[in-house]
Amino acid sequence: MRGGFTRGLVLGGLIGASIGMMKNSDMMKPRSRRRMMRAGRNMVRRTSNAIGDMIDLLR
**Cα–Cα nearest to 35, from 21, 47, 49:** 21
**In the chain, where the domains are located:** 2-58
The predicted structure's pLDDT at residue 2? 64
The predicted structure's pLDDT at residue 40? 79
Output the CA–CA distances (angstroms, integers) from residue 43 to 2, 15, 28, 46, 58, in the order listed. Answer: 24, 12, 21, 5, 23
Q: Using one digit for the tens of pLDDT, what is the confidence trace for 1-57?
A: 566 788 888 888 888 887 777 677 666 677 777 887 788 788 788 888 888 887 787
Q: Using one digit for the tens of pLDDT, what is the confidence trace for 1-11?
A: 566 788 888 88
Q: What is the DSSP letter of 1?
A: -
DSSP letters for 4-50:
HHHHHHHHHHHHHHHHHHHH-TTTS-HHHHHHHHHHHHHHHHHHHHH
